[in-house]
C-alpha cells in the first residue's frame, strides 16, 4: 500500500520527529525527566521571538478591525481549540471587553473542551458551518490555530472566512516552508519553529506553549492599543467578583494617590468604571466630564488627562 499524502505530511513535521534530548526519557529519573522538559521549554520563547514581525502585522490587523467594530474569532481543534477558547474567555474580566469581542470555537463543540472529540477535526465542513453560524462579517478577524497547519476543521473555517472578506491569521508550529508547500493561505501566518517535542508528536507540549504565548501577545497587544491599560496597569477590568472589586480600589488608590475610602467612593460615583473614576480624581471633574474626556480620546487615560 502506498503512503498517503497525510502520512507523508504528518511524518515530515518537526514536532513528529524523535528529539535526541529526550531519547532516553523512559529510563530517566523523575528529576531528569523534569529537567529535560524544562530545558526544551526554554527554547519556545526564542522561537516565538523570531515571529514578532508577523505577530505585529496580525495585531495591527486586529486593532484596525476592532476600531471598525469587528470581532476576533479563534478556530481550533483539540489543544489548539482549547487554547483559543481560554484566551477568549479571559479577555472580558481582564480588559473589560464585551464577551462578543473575542470568541473561541472548537471542533466538536463545547463538550470538546472537557472530553477529546478527536474525529471532529477531520471535517472541513464543520469549520465552514461554525463560521456561518457565528455570523462572521467582512470586518471580523478569523484566527485559525493548528499545530500541524493542516487541520481540516481549521482550514475549512479559514477558507470560508476568507471568502467573506475577513482578516485571516494562522497560528501554527509546522514551519513556514511546510505551510507554503501545503498551499495554506492566510493574510498572516505565525509559525514559531519549536522543533521536536519531548514526547514525539505531543503538540500539547512545546507547540501548545508557543501557541499560548502567541495568543497572549495578540490579545494583550491589541487591548493595549485600544486603551485598555494605563501604563502597564489593567484599568478596564470588570468587578465580577470580590477579588476584582478590591483590585479596582487598589488601582485607583495607587494611580490617584488616595486612601481606601476615597477610592471606594470614586468607584461608586463613577458607576463602578475604573477608568472613569481615575479621570474624575486626576482632573477633579464630574462623571459626565470624565466620560466625555475618555470618549474624545479613544479611551486612553493619559490622553484624556493631558
pLDDT in tens, 118-176: 777 889 999 999 999 999 999 999 999 999 999 999 999 999 999 999 999 999 999 99
Q: What is the pLDDT of residue 204?
A: 93
- Is 5 inside a domain boundary? no
Range of the domain at 212: 10-225
Among 210, 225, 240, the domain boundary falls at 225
Among 181, 200, 225, the domain boundary falls at 225
Half-sphere exposure of 289 (CA within 13 A, CB side): 10
Q: Does residue 41 sit in the same domain as residue 132?
A: yes
- Measuring CA to CA, which residue among 271, 294, 270 is closest to residue 281? 270
Average pLDDT value for the chain: 93
Q: Does residue 252 sit in the same domain as residue 200?
A: no
Q: Does residue 219 sit in the same domain as residue 254?
A: no
Q: Does residue 79 have a pLDDT over 80?
A: yes
Q: How confident is the model at residue 209 (pLDDT cuts 50, 70, 90)?
A: very high
Q: Does residue 163 sit in the same domain as residue 274?
A: no
Domain count, the chain: 2
- Is 88 inside a domain boundary? yes
Per the DSSP assignment, residues forming a β-bridge with 104 are 74
- Is 1 inside a domain boundary? no
Global pTM value: 0.90
Q: What proportion of the chain, given as a percentage, has pLDDT over 70?
A: 94
Residue 226 is placed in which grid cell? 485600544
Just list the catalytic residues: 90, 121
Q: Find the range with the poorest average confidence among 29-33, 231-235, 259-263.
A: 231-235
- Is 26 inside a domain boundary? yes
Per-residue pLDDT tens over the stretch 221-230: 999 999 999 9
Q: What is the pLDDT of residue 13?
A: 67
In the chain, count H helices and then E strands: 13, 7
Q: Does residue 181 have a pLDDT over 70?
A: yes
Q: Does residue 19 sit in the same domain as residue 157?
A: yes
Query: Average pLDDT of 19-28?
Result: 91
Give me the DSSP letters along 199-236.
Answer: STT-TTTHHHHHHHHHHHHHHHHHHHHTT-EETTEE-S
Query: Average pLDDT of 272-289?
Result: 96
Q: Does residue 160 sit in the same domain as residue 256?
A: no
Q: Does residue 82 have a pLDDT over 70?
A: yes
Q: Does residue 2 have a pLDDT over 80?
A: no
Q: Does residue 178 sit in the same domain as residue 233?
A: no
Q: What is the pLDDT of residue 1?
A: 43
Among 206, 225, 244, the domain boundary falls at 225
Amino acid at each position: 500500500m502506498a503512503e498517503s499524502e497525510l502520512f507523508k505530511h504528518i511524518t515530515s513535521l518537526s514536532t513528529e520527529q524523535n528529539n535526541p534530548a529526550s531519547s532516553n526519557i523512559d529510563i530517566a529519573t523523575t528529576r531528569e525527566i523534569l529537567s529535560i522538559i524544562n530545558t526544551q521549554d526554554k527554547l519556545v520563547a526564542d522561537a516565538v521571538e523570531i515571529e514578532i514581525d508577523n505577530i505585529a502585522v496580525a495585531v495591527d490587523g486586529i486593532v484596525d478591525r476592532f476600531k471598525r467594530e469587528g470581532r476576533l474569532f479563534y478556530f481550533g481543534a483539540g489543544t489548539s481549540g482549547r487554547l483559543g477558547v481560554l484566551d477568549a474567555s479571559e479577555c472580558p474580566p481582564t480588559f473589560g471587553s464585551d464577551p462578543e469581542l473575542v470568541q473561541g470555537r472548537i471542533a466538536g463543540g463545547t463538550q470538546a473542551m472537557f472530553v477529546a472529540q478527536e474525529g471532529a477535526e477531520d471535517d472541513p465542513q464543520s469549520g465552514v458551518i461554525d463560521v456561518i453560524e457565528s455570523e462572521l462579517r467582512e470586518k471580523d478577524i478569523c484566527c485559525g490555530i493548528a499545530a500541524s497547519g493542516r487541520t481540516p476543521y481549521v482550514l475549512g473555517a479559514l477558507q470560508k472566512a476568507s471568502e467573506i472578506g475577513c482578516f485571516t491569521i494562522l497560528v501554527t508550529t509546522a514551519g513556514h516552508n511546510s505551510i507554503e508547500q501545503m498551499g495554506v493561505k492566510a493574510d498572516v501566518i505565525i509559525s514559531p519553529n519549536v522543533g521536536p517535542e519531548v514526547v514525539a508528536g505531543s503538540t500539547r507540549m512545546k507547540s501548545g506553549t508557543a501557541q499560548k504565548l502567541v495568543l497572549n501577545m495578540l490579545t494583550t497587544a491589541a487591548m493595549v492599543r485600544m486603551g485598555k491599560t494605563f501604563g502597564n496597569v489593567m484599568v478596564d477590568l470588570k468587578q465580577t467578583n470580590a477579588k476584582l472589586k478590591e483590585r479596582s480600589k487598589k488601582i485607583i488608590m495607587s494611580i490617584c494617590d488616595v486612601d481606601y475610602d476615597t477610592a471606594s467612593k470614586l468607584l461608586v460615583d463613577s458607576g463602578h468604571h475604573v477608568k472613569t473614576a481615575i479621570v474624575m480624581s486626576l482632573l477633579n471633574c464630574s462623571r459626565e466630564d470624565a466620560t466625555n474626556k475618555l470618549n474624545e480620546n479613544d479611551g486612553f487615560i493619559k490622553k484624556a488627562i493631558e
